[in-house]
Amino acid sequence: MKPYTTWVSILLLAGTLVSCGGGDSPSGPGNNGGGSVSTPGHFEESDAAVSLSGAWTPTDPNFAWSGGTAMESSAAGATATFTFTGTSVRWIGARNRASGIALVSVDGGPGKRVDLFARPNEIRTPIITFNGLTPGRHTLTIQVTGEKNENADSGSAVVVVDAFDVDAPIVSHLQETDPDVAYSGTWTQDPAAAWSGGGVASLPDPPFGGAKFTTTAGAKVTLTFRGTSITWQGGRGPDYGIASVQVDGGAPTDVDTYSPAQKYQDIVFKATGLADATHTLTIQATGQKNAASGGVKIVVDAFDVTTPGTRFQEEDPRITYTGKWTHDNINRVWSEGSSATSNVAGSRATFFFTGTSVSWIGCQKVSCSGVARIFLDGAFVKEVHNFRPEGIEAYQHTIFRADGLTNGPHTLVIEQQINGAYIVVDAFDVLP
């Protein structure tokens, strides 16, 4: 088995693509003997409800896995099972250029092949969600096939089991380049592949992915978001400093990001229990540091915003496509790893849903600058221009949202208007 540390070193080489682009277990840490039944919440790979068989080894400790650890395998036949009680389950793992293919099933049903290859290096990331399960006890099974995408690194076919979410809300992983993020003061872009979204670029975009950092006291970043919880994903290291964090302008919280060892893609702050409304998260570099730190660096890598409802991925059978679409785009940090793209005028994506609110999750940037017309229940609603200037790149971004619908069946149509510029269908979010 090729260890995770080996493929991290390979991932640190940036590439260029010509395309559009933790918490503690509620039941506490257990062992891998398996057999216990979970309740809704977040569960680590070490929980007693998780059973591992075959050859599994710990992942690279330089990355901030959920709960601090994760397990990996590339041995064909190695299996992870998670027993839980709930109506939905989400596997949290990793995607990158060294990842392999897993066979995933619920309650012994038909297996779904999940290709974990992706060009950005994403850890602690949602891999697949199963919704609409009957209330009661279920078992999720992940089997390592030993196979890999033809584009994956030579010899690599790694599958990572990091955690599981039961009956979890929607999570949108927003990059530091999102248009809803505003910076003041001096910030520098680090495009390294160790950061979320790093190591890749899509022509004509320059390599803006990765993370931003500052060593300037008073430098500030503010994210405006709608959701019920927010996390700031950054980094920790031997030369990192202290930041002051505020939610909605409230009392500041000092966050010390010093660590004797470098940690990438780490959750350094989290706020929960927010109303489902618009909020702001503000991070300010204080210029202060832990006595043991050799510097005052503050890193902003990404943000996770949770919202109530259900997310339907772009390949859900409730979505139909007409015209010219490219599926399985894996070049960027898409929701659960892939998206559908079109640069042909007249192409349509039609989403059939039942609920009181719907959101189109997509992309806005230079190379995803298409114009879309939006229709709801057959009526034209608005035209959306997705161009954003260089330096702004929005992934898993809410392009359009409609609230206050009658609680019944509806259709949402996204129609491409121009040739040559891409629009992206990443997912749709629905509130009942």
CB 220: neighbour CB atoms within 10 A? 17
Write down the mean pLDDT value for the chain. Answer: 91
pLDDT in the model for residue 285:
98
Higher pLDDT, 200 or 76: 76
**Same structural domain for residues 120 and 217?**
no
Residue that terminates a domain, selected from 168, 186, 219? 168
**Same structural domain for residues 290 and 322?**
no
Terminal C-alpha separation, the chain:
45
Q: What is the DSSP letter of 67?
A: G
Q: With residue 8 as reference, give the H or E element that holds it.
A: helix 4-11
Vertex 336 angle, CA 333 and 338, to 5°? 65
pLDDT per residue over 399-429, tens digit each? 999 999 999 999 999 999 999 999 999 999 9
pLDDT per residue over 343-375, tens digit each? 999 999 999 999 999 999 999 999 999 999 999
pLDDT in the model for residue 154:
86
CB 110: neighbour CB atoms within 10 A? 7
Helix then strand then coil, % of the chain, to nearest 5? 5, 50, 45
**Same structural domain for residues 225 and 191?**
yes
Residue that terminates a domain, selected from 168, 196, 220? 168
**Same structural domain for residues 48 and 163?**
yes
Q: Kindly list the distances between the CA atom of residue 249 and the CA atoms of 105, 186, 214, 252, 428, in Å, as whole numbers in the listed order.
A: 45, 22, 21, 8, 31
Whether 118 shows a pLDDT value over 90: the answer reads yes
Whether 1 shows a pLDDT value over 70: the answer reads no
In 272-378 the beta strands, taken as DSSP E runs, fall at 277-288, 298-300, 302-307, 310-313, 319-322, 326-329, 339-342, 348-355, 357-364, 371-376
Helix or strand or coil: residue 337?
helix
> Which neighbouring-strand residues pair with 376?
379, 412
Residue 161 and residue 190: Cα distance in Å, rounded? 28
CB 25: neighbour CB atoms within 10 A? 23
**Same structural domain for residues 303 and 314?**
no
Domain that holds residue 262: 173-307
For the segment 8-24, the average pLDDT, to the nearest whole number, is 36
Q: How do strand 170-175 and strand 357-364 relate by DSSP bridges?
A: unpaired
Least confident of 22-26, 40-44, 159-163, 367-371: 22-26
Model confidence at 25, in pLDDT bands (50, 70, 90)? very low
The one-letter amino acid code at 144 reads V
Whether 107 shows a pLDDT value over 70: the answer reads yes
**Same structural domain for residues 288 and 322?**
no
**Same structural domain for residues 198 and 292?**
yes
Whether 54 shows a pLDDT value over 70: the answer reads yes
pLDDT in the model for residue 419:
97
Burial class of residue 432, CB neighbours in 10 A (0-12, 13-18, 19+): exposed
**Same structural domain for residues 24 and 145?**
yes
Helix or strand or coil: residue 62?
coil
Residue that terminates a domain, selected from 168, 197, 216? 168
pTM exceeds 0.75, yes or no: yes
pLDDT in the model for residue 40:
84
Residue 68 and residue 66: Cα distance in Å, rounded? 5
Burial class of residue 394, CB neighbours in 10 A (0-12, 13-18, 19+): buried
Residue 390, domain CATH: 2.60.120.260
**Same structural domain for residues 76 and 138?**
yes
Half-sphere exposure of 284 (CA within 13 A, CB side): 13
Count: domains in the chain:
3
Q: Kindly list the distances between the CA atom of residue 129 and the CA atoms of 178, 269, 313, 319, in Å, as whole numbers in the listed order.
A: 25, 25, 9, 17
**Same structural domain for residues 325 and 205?**
no
**Same structural domain for residues 183 and 50?**
no
pLDDT per residue over 155-213, tens digit each? 889 999 999 999 999 999 999 999 999 999 999 999 999 999 998 876 666 666 899 99
**Same structural domain for residues 114 and 219?**
no
Tokens of 392: 């702004």
